Structure 1
């Protein structure tokens, strides 16, 4: 990946459609419709084209919450990794493995790392129904940590199930970022990304990122015009090298996010750190020896 040609790196992008599907409604996903309305469902090649047109790179993933929902993701980790490998200039594949699958999850993670060369793992505690510091998940973290890969965790409120009866069964408590403090202590060599402004626990996320050197925050899922003042203040100061651009596309487009970010009072020297430089350093994209 030639990072010099990139204007930004979007660290939070969802793959919602498989290349094997013959029909797509593009009418939005039911679980997110209450918050984001109609959502177009992109395949990996379509995401590559979208981000290439913008001279951006993107991290792409699915979410495996089979133990709670009773069904597998619409797009497999294997498909995402194999398809992303065809666009190495633009896409970085992450995987998602449901921790509730126990030993099978550990085996799957090892296989995805060794055979499919995934570059990190995505967790959604509220969707997957677990506290991040549950010892059940620790064997999975051990595999990720041993491989030197980052783990990205959803935090705060979620659009999944919003407006549905009983919130679609989603329990917000699992996504309080404070539970990640234990994970950061117990796995000090595993980079952790706290995804999203962590409404209503923003101060907890800032405290953890400021205290634990391997913890970062991605700014996806919310338009920057809604960022709380303390998030903006620490982006400009103490945490300027810990903040990462993310959109949550296709729920929120990078175009919309970047347009609103341009209006935010962010220091000129901080903007390139957030948009690209911090991600380049975190993911080792400036290291030609790293795959």
Structure 2
């Protein structure tokens, strides 16, 4: 694992778009082109895990990295969690591997989760309700959550609007409703020992997200997917006060570069004693590292 005494920050939200350096199957081309246009990405092709590691190594930043298993809903093949974990392990000085399992896999998914934590060093799990097409509080997902809670690792959920499918015909048939953070209130109540991270400023449900996080002590917020200069004032206010111990730096690499995010964060009115919590200390505590 990374030496967290030496890194300057922990980016809690980076994507393993092309874990094995191979071209994704048909369908991804249009999808990735839409993502590139939406985020004005500088990359012509999604960076591989080794390329991601090298970028973060130069910045002296550790990164939580994950794929997204949306194969059932999207028709795009999933990236192999084991293969991604093995590649991340080759760059363990900067990368912290999370996995992704479609909750529709039920007990098979729960077995995979346990295996990944025990044998592959997976430190958490990523969910994207809009991309995966499910409500987070759907009881069919609970068998997977039970495995995650038993393993003692966090679950990271996309919340709010998404660049995934944005601008594509029919939004690529993806539904924003699944990513309302209020659905996570049920999950936080039913799994009080599972640490839940709500990813992104949760536009247009920012106040719902803050409500859930202040009410449920096992809920955190990462600040990825937006430049800090666009953060709603109420989010900054809560990050500076009531939620200062449960807010995390995240970029959304490769959609948003960490150096750009950090430069904009420098201009944000964050208290000096809170800034290191957001950049590293809170994530280190959450990851038990």
| 1:283 equivalent in alignment to 2:284 | no
Structure 2 residue matching 1:152: 3-state secondary structure: strand
Normalized against structure 1, the TM-score is what? Answer: 0.93
C-alpha contact (below 8 Å) 1:34/1:164 kept by paired residues? no
- The answer to whether 1:53 aligns with 2:58 is yes
1:229 matches 2:233: yes
Could you tell me how far apart the structure 2 residues matched to 1:154 and 1:238 are? 22
Cross-structure match for 1:5: 6
2:126 aligned with 1:122, yes or no?
yes
Structure 1 residue 43, shift from structure 2 partner: 1.4
Q: Is the CA contact (8 Å cut-off) linking 1:67 and 1:101 kept in structure 2? A: no
Give the distance between the partners of 1:99 and 1:19, measured in 2 at CA.
Answer: 24
Pairwise CA distance, 1:21: 2.0
Residue 26 to residue 259, structure 1, CA distance change in 2 (3 Å):
farther
TM-score in terms of structure 2 length? 0.94
Shift of 1:22: 7.1
Alpha-carbon distance, 1:197 to partner: 0.2
For the residues of structure 1 that align with 2:203 and 2:76, how far apart are their CA atoms?
28
Please report how far the alpha carbon of residue 31 of structure 1 lies from its aligned counterpart in structure 2 after TM superposition. 4.5
Partners of 1:87 and 1:132 in 2: CA distance: 32
> In structure 2, what is the Cα distance between the partners aligned to 1:134 and 1:200?
22
Question: Which of the numbers 110, 114, 130 marks the counterpart of 2:114?
Answer: 110
CA displacement, residues 269-288 of structure 1 (integer Å, 9 cap, x when unaligned): 11100000100111011xxx
Aligned partners of 1:172 and 1:256: how far apart in 2? 27
**Residue in structure 2 matched with residue 288 of structure 1 by the alignment:** none
Superposition RMSD in Å:
1.9
Matches within 5 A, 1:79-90: 79-90=83-94
- Displacement of 1:17 in angstroms is 1.3
Partner of 1:134: 138
Please, which runs of 5 or more residues in structure 2 have no aligned partner?
Answer: none
Higher-helix-fraction structure:
2
Measured after TM superposition, the shift of residue 105 of structure 1 is 1.4
| 1:30-79 per-position Cα deviation (integer Å, ceiling 9, x unaligned) | 35234213444111111111111111100000000011112322x32112
Cα distance in 2 between the residues matched to 1:253 and 1:28:
20
For structure 1, the residue ranges without an aligned partner over 5 or more in a row are 286-291
Alignment of 1:84-103 (within 5 A): 84-103=88-107
